[in-house]
Amino acid sequence: MLNFKNILYPIDLDLKNISSVVKALEFAQMLNCPIHILYVNDIQAGYRHPTDHEDAVALRVKEVVPAELLENQKIIYSVSKGALDKEIVKYCEKNNIDLIITGHKHRNKLYSLFFDRPDENIIDAINLPVLIIPEN
């Protein structure tokens, strides 16, 4: 049986649909382990989201997650500034993360030619198991 002790869910506050956060929380609850929800304000990508506070991340999560799922779950909200992949690597090392859960939204090939895909950057940068959940 897999024995994960710390899960990381990097959240994209710019997305309208973050349904994968519900599945990530359900997974963490099933494994009975804490989940870290990290927002990285990527300064290299230009102005993204005006948050520098964990409270803003928690508020966004509470907007989409049923209250009963949040009740008995240990959730650690964090924010960081920098390149997404580098910040995630640093966070994982510092917090003993052993599983990353991330959402994925299918994009057309033209979009993929011009823009980085955060979920692929995470996979390339980290040497940990990654569970990818499709966004609705």
DSSP reduced 3-state for 21: helix
Of 43, 40, 48, 22, which is closest to residue 103 (Cα–Cα)? 22
- 106 pLDDT exceeds 60? no
Residue 36 contacts residue 101 (beta carbons within 8 Å) = no
- Domain membership of residue 1 (yes or no) is no
CATH number at residue 106: 3.40.50.620
User: Is 2 within a domain?
Assistant: no
Asked whether residue 57 is assigned to any structural domain, the reply reads yes
Number of domains in the chain: 1
In a domain, 98, yes or no: yes
Does residue 113 register a pLDDT over 50?
no
pTM to 2 decimal places: 0.82
- Which structural domain, as residue segments, surrounds residue 83? 7-110+118-134
Q: What are 29-80's pLDDT values in tens digits?
A: 999 999 999 998 877 655 555 556 788 889 889 988 999 999 889 999 999 9
